[in-house]
Structure 1
Amino acid sequence: MTSLTHLALHVPDLDACIAFYEAFCGMRVICERPGKGSRIVWMAEPGKEHQFIFVIMPGGQSRHLAPDDYSHFGFAVDSRERVDALAQQAQLAGCLIWPPKQGDLYTGYYCGLRDPAGNYVEFSYGQPLGPGSEHLPIP
């Protein structure tokens, strides 16, 4: 058996990325350790610390994704209103890239943000993935 446990990212501004993932994704720093001439940070959603984490390390280049590039990290939220609230918060912070939109059965209602390293981050409601989707069929 295999299990996806983490995603490791080199980021140009470690503290800005930590602040982004805390503010928008509700993730928390669960471990900091020395490494790469600075520190390596583990972040997780509360209650999922032993299931899936982001490992964030200093260094690397900012990503420059095209507006039509849909490479992203996907987070499920509990309502359309939460998608709208995150989009409004992102608009004020200058990091909204996809305004809220109703998609199809696969995408649900979603918006997209750009993190400080240039990665796209999607927030969705109504996809057949994530909390509350157990009653939805996989299309």
Structure 2
Amino acid sequence: MRPTLTHLALHVPDVEACVVFYEQFCAMRVIHRRAGKGSTIVWMAEPDKEHSFIFVIMPGGQERHLAADDYSHFGFALASRDGVDSMAQQARRAGCLVWEPREEPYPVGYYCGVRDPAGHYIEFSYGQPLGPGAEPMLTT
């Protein structure tokens, strides 16, 4: 039997702020909400992916402060370069843009970075060999 990645569980300082962020920026939606640890535990997923991969958002976390050279992030693919530019503009207005749109050699592609309310970084990309706009991966 091989393992399958099904979820990421995140302790965050403000569950509701993170729910709003992931709804607005990542088009995720709440698929389950229950009481837990003095607050609410929320499961979120992209539409039609509720049975394959979710985020579990839990209370009690500390805000993350990443070093300038720490590129830890969650990656979301967009369907176009314009989508990346639009996401960056939305994040700029919200005060949470951390990486201006930029182009990197294949397989990285065109991307920008956004900070969620808990301090996690989210990359929005186009042109990677994953998700919308994917190109076949070249092996070397």
Superposition map of 1:11-90 within 5 A: 11-90=12-91
Q: Which residue of 1 aligns with 2:11?
A: 10
- Residues 97 and 114 in structure 2, CA contact (< 8 A), matched pair in contact too: yes
Post-superposition CA distance 1:32-79 (Å, at most 9, x none): 011111110000000000000000001110000022210000000100
Return the alpha-carbon distance in structure 2 between the equivalents of residues 14 and 88 of structure 1: 24
Question: Which residue type is aligned with residue 90 of structure 1?
Answer: A
Return the alpha-carbon distance in structure 1 between the equivalents of residues 42 and 125 of structure 2: 26
Structure 1 pair 78–67 and aligned structure 2 pair: CA distance change class (3 A):
same
**Alignment partner of 2:32: what SS?**
strand
Q: Which residue of 1 aligns with 2:103?
A: 102
Post-superposition CA distance 1:94-121 (Å, at most 9, x none): 0000000011102100000000000000
For the aligned residues, what is the CA RMSD?
A: 1.0
Return the alpha-carbon distance in structure 2 between the equivalents of residues 102 and 132 of structure 1: 15
Matched, 1:121 2:131: no
What TM-score, normalized by structure 2, do the two folds share?
Answer: 0.95
Question: Which residue type is aligned with residue 28 of structure 1?
Answer: R
Per-residue deviation, 1:131: 2.8
**Deviation >2 Å, runs of 4+:** none
Kindly tell me the number of residue pairs found equivalent between the two proteins.
138
Matched residues, percent identical? 69
Return the alpha-carbon distance in structure 1 between the equivalents of residues 35 and 45 of structure 2: 18
